[in-house]
Amino acid sequence: MADRRRTPLHAIRVLVRPRYRANWITGLRRADGFVWYVRGTNFPMTHEDWLRSLVHPFKGDLFVDVGAHVGTWSLRATRSFRQVIAFEPNPTANKILRTNVKLNKLPNIIVIAAAISNTEREMPIAGGRQNGKKGDIVPMRTLDSFKLKPSLLKIDTEGNELPVLEGAQETLKQKPRLVIETHNPESVRRIRVLLESYDYTIKEIRQQNRFNQMQSWLLCS
């Protein structure tokens, strides 16, 4: 089983955040017909259900999840896509994701421990949403290097969305549908310019997140 590295910071989070504490104690939860390993997470496994409900159709040959985290999108996609490829560079999140795949015995998903961007090199992981151990090294690759043909491409890379798209120019020429989380107006502007050059139609959805911060998501086809 995946487990959280124990540090004083983790202990404080467990004590202070009710959902974090509940997930740590429970270990496993069930949501949407899946079993989820939740220890080390502080959000429900129904995360972004509202957004997924706006993606029509949520089915196809290949779903590519760049920034898969613990699999809230990828696991559900295994039901309606022939194949799922999930990229998650953070070691702890990747381990939880793999645990969730194993718990649910999902044969049509591939989990890849790589960061996706516009260049190729090795990248140290010193932190992140699940706090990778200092000294962890993961490969950074372009999406084009995998030569995929996604029906739907979802990108949530904590502000690195534009470089992901810049490294996916051949992929974008195939016109997969896109779901992109963005983090500031300038990022939205630059992503729009890039995608409009590929003749994408873009719908922006703005909503407050659980931290009362305004976020934007782009649905593109």
Q: Rounded to the nearest 5 degrees, what angle is found at the Cα of 87, between the Cα atoms of 84 and 92? A: 120
Write the pLDDT tens digit of every residue in 6-53.
Answer: 456 655 555 566 666 777 777 899 999 999 998 888 778 898 999 999
This prediction's pTM: 0.87
Residues 157, 66 contacting (CB under 8 angstroms): yes
| pLDDT of the chain, 221 residues: tens digit per residue | 333 344 566 555 555 666 667 777 778 999 999 999 988 887 788 989 999 999 999 999 999 999 999 999 999 999 999 999 999 999 999 999 999 999 999 999 999 999 999 999 998 886 544 444 556 899 999 999 999 999 999 999 988 999 999 999 999 999 999 999 998 899 999 999 999 999 999 999 988 766 666 789 999 99
Q: Which residues contact 193 (CB under 8 A, 6 or more apart)?
A: none
| 110 vs 71: CA distance, rounded Å | 11
Nearest to 87 by CA among 42, 139, 35: 139
Residue 131 confidence (pLDDT): 45
Write the pLDDT tens digit of every residue in 125-136.
Answer: 865 444 445 568
The topology (CATH level 3) of 45-220 is Rossmann fold (3.40.50)
Residue 32 confidence (pLDDT): 93
Q: Rounded to the nearest 5 degrees, what angle is found at the Cα of 171, between the Cα atoms of 147 and 56? A: 115
Output the DSSP codes for 70-89.
Answer: TSTTHHHHTTTEEEEEEE--
